[in-house]
Amino acid sequence: MSDALFQGLLRLGDNTLVLGHRISEWCGKAPALEEDIALANTALDLIGQTQMWLGYAAEVEEKDRSADDLAFLRDVWDFRNVLLVERPSVDFAHTMMRQFLFDAWHKGMLTGLTQSTDPRIAEIAAKSVKEATYHLDRSAETVIALGDGTEVSHAKMQDALDLAWPYVGEMFASDEIDTALAADGTMPDPASLRPAWDQTVAATLAEATLTLPDGDFAHQGGRTGKMHTEHLGHMLAQMQYLPRAYPGAQW
């Protein structure tokens, strides 16, 4: 179970790490000051959650590694995040659509984790779900405002939804690790989160006057490390440069 727990914690921590870094790329570049501050705060929330998930993962692994080691000294194939979060931001529409689709899943996952039989996981989830609830409220409101806004903003949000949709299915894909963790109540089976997610997303997109894409094809491979997009490698090259160039450096 320790290896399954380690992998499960990596999946949680890598999702927040990669998405947090993606959002941080907007710092100083957002379309409005309020958005700049809001995106920076969201990124900080996700990085804070990363510290807790990867910190616990390092303890479970028992190989004398820290959360920083797991974040900065692993290669692309060792990451376990879903492909959705590593996709480039492209523009503000894509950023907020990606955020909304993830937030709807993240809140459901964290809510389930608050009932974990592992006290440490339940404690981290109880802290994190409060932030995820705010993230979802904000991203949903933005999707609605832009989707039901001007002709241009509507078109951009529909395009963002169409491009992101083939990546959402991976968030609900279950494998032997999920089965092992769900068996004793450590983590919920991702597949069990789909009905509530579908309901939340459908209601929000309807209010945003956006059309749900057809088809259920899902790109996969990120959660298992079998496949990542080229974008993750480029991101890690920037994110990990200093720790790798100056091993063990301290501020």
Per-residue pLDDT tens over the stretch 190-213: 999 999 999 999 999 999 999 999
In the chain, what percentage of residues exceed pLDDT 90?
90
Per-residue pLDDT tens over the stretch 81-107: 999 999 998 899 999 999 999 999 999
Does residue 164 fall inside a structural domain? yes
- Residue 48 has a pLDDT of 97
Distance CA 5, CA 187 (A): 9
Distance CA 76, CA 74 (A): 7
Instruction: Decide: pTM greater than 0.75.
Output: yes
Residue 62, domain CATH: 1.20.1260.10
- Residue 29 has a pLDDT of 85
Does residue 250 fall inside a structural domain? no
- Residue 207 has a pLDDT of 98
Does residue 251 fall inside a structural domain? no
Are 4 and 16 spatial neighbours (Cβ–Cβ below 8 Å)? no
Count of structural domains within the chain: 1
Q: Is 251's pLDDT higher than 90?
A: no
Q: What is the 3-state secondary structure (H, E, C) of 48-79?
A: HHHHHHHHHHHHHHCCCCCHHHHHHCCCHHHC
Does residue 116 fall inside a structural domain? yes
Q: Is 32's pLDDT higher than 80?
A: yes
Confidence of residue 1 (pLDDT cuts 50, 70, 90): low
> Tokens 């592992």 belong to which residue?
118
Per-residue pLDDT tens over the stretch 151-164: 999 999 999 999 99
Distance CA 127, CA 181 (A): 21
- Residue 248 has a pLDDT of 84
What domain range is 63 assigned to?
A: 2-245
The Cβ-side half-sphere exposure at 219, using a 13 Å CA radius, reads: 18
